[in-house]
Amino acid sequence: MELYNSDAEAAVLGAVLIDPDVFGKLVQFLRGGDFYNIRNRWIYEAFSALYERREAIDFVTVKGELERMNRLSEVGEGYLVTLIQDTPSSVHAESYARAVYDSGKRRDLVRAASAVAKLAHDVGKPLSEIMEASADVIHQAINGAASSRAVPVSLAISDYYDVIIARSKSGTLPGLPTGILDLDHKLGGGIQSDDLMIVAGRPGDGKTSLLLQMASAFCAQGKRGVIFSLEMSIPKLTNRLIAQRTGLDGQRLNGGLLSKDEWGLVQSAVSDMEKWGLRLDDTAPLSPVTVRARCIDWKETEGLDFIIIDYIQLMTGVGQNREQEIAYISRNLKLLARELNVPVIAAAQVNRASEGRADKRPSKADLRESGAQEQDADLILLLWSDPEKNNNNDKHHVTTGVLDKNRNGPTGEWDMVFLGSQTKFVPVAQTREIDFSRL
C-alpha cells in the first residue's frame, strides 16, 4: 500500500485556491509535512504563511509567496492553474484533507518505528534511556512536533486584560482552591493551572494525608484528576479518603467496627464520592514518561484538571546517579504541568539536615537527593511538627505549614492541627469544637 494520495493532495490545494475560506478549518489539523509531493507541500506552506499574515489566499498571492520562497520556478505557474481547473468544488475539501493527514501520519509512524528499532539495537545504552527516547519518538510521531506559541505582546496583554475583567465581574479568584484555607489565601485563591507544587517533609509528617485532602477538595468542585501512589495501595488510599470525608476513625472504618449512625455516614460519603472524576493508580515502578502518556490519554478522552504524585523519590528516571534521576523527574513533572495546563502536586522527602538544627525546622534546601526540585517547583510547601508544641502526641498534633517558595506571590507559614485518627488537617480555630477525648 502506498502511503500517499496524490489525488487527495491536489484536491485539497485546488479547493483552497477556489474557496480560501475553507483553509481556516484545514489548518487546524493539516500541516505541510503531511503532503508527500514536495511541490504540494510548498504550496500548502505558502497558504499557511499568507494565512498567518492575514493576507488573502488566491492565485496571485500564492504565486507571489512561492516566488518569495524561491520555489515558484520549481512548482511552476502552470501547476497552480491546473490545480484550479481540475477542482470543480470545495465541498469535500475537509474529506480530502483527512485523507492527506491519514497518509502523512502513517508515514510518521513508519519513520518512528525505524528510529525505535535503531535505538533498540544500541546495546551500549542502558535500557531505561532507550525506553525513554523511544517513548518520545512515538509521542512526537502521534502528536507532532511542538509548534511555536510566540505571540505579539499586544495580543498577550489584550487576552490577559479580558481575563481579569471577567474575574472582576464574576467575583471569582484565580486558581484551584486546595481546601487548605491559609494556603489558598497565600496563593491568591488557589493553585494555578500550570504550577508544579512540591509538598515535602520527613516520613510521618502527613504528606499523603494533605495530598488526599487536596484531591477531595478538587473533586468537590467538580474537577477531574488522578492520584499516582507509589507508596500506598488503592484500598489504603480509599480508606483514608472515606475517613477524611466522614470524620471517622480510619482503623475502626477498616475493620467495619461502626455503629448504625456511622454506617449511615459512610454510605452517604460513598454515594457522593462515587460521582467524583478521580482515578487512583498504584502502579509501580513509575516513570515520568508513563505518567505523561496516561495523563495525555485521560486529558483527551475524559478531561483532566489535576495530577497528584506520591512521591517523587519512588519514581524512576534517567541519569548516571540518583541526583540526576531526581532532576530528570522534577523537570519532566514541570514540563507536564505546562503541556497539559494542569497543576501537578508531588510529595517529596527532605533529608536529615534539619535534625541537626536547634529547632529542627526544615527548609527548601533540604529537599532530598536533588536541588533541581527547588529550581523546578513553582511552590514548595514544607510540613513541620515542632516537638515543643506537641509533647510527642501521635494521635493529634500541631503541624506548621511553611510555604517556603511561591514563584508568583508571598511565602509564609501557619499552624494546622493534624487529626491522626482521621488522617486530615484542620484549622487551629476549628479544634475548639472538637472533643479530642473521642478521637
CATH, domain 176-438, list 3.90.1170.50, 3.30.70.1450, 3.40.50.300, 3.40.309.10: 3.40.50.300
Per-residue burial over 351-368, b if 16 or more Cβ lie within 10 Å, else e, is eeebeeeeeeebbbebbb
Domain with CATH 1.10.860.10 in the chain: 6-106
Confidence tier at 432 by pLDDT (50, 70, 90): low
Q: Please provide residue 177's backbone torsions phi and psi, each rounded to the nearest 5 degrees.
A: -60, 135
Known catalytic residue: 374?
no
Contact 329, 336 (CB under 8 A): no
Q: Cell for 222?
A: 467538580
pTM over 0.75: no
Q: What is the mean pLDDT of residues 147-162?
A: 67
Confidence tier at 36 by pLDDT (50, 70, 90): very high
Q: Which of these is catalytic: 94, 231, 323, 413?
A: 231
Confidence tier at 148 by pLDDT (50, 70, 90): very low
pLDDT confidence of residue 147: 45
Q: What is the mean pLDDT of residues 349-373?
A: 72
- Alpha-carbon distances of 118 from 8, 78, 106, 133, 134, rounded to whole Å: 33, 43, 19, 11, 10
Q: Quick check: 151 pLDDT over 70?
A: no
Q: What is the enclosing helix (H) or strand (E) of 300?
A: helix 288-301
pLDDT confidence of residue 217: 92
Q: Quick check: 99 pLDDT over 70?
A: yes
Confidence tier at 308 by pLDDT (50, 70, 90): very high
Judge: domain 6-106, CATH 1.10.860.10: yes
Q: Which residue would you say has higher pLDDT here, 282 or 375?
A: 282
Domain with CATH 3.40.50.300 in the chain: 176-438
DSSP-derived secondary structure letter, 275: T
Tens-place pLDDT, residues 238-258: 888 888 888 888 888 878 888
Q: Which residue would you say has higher pLDDT here, 417 or 158?
A: 417
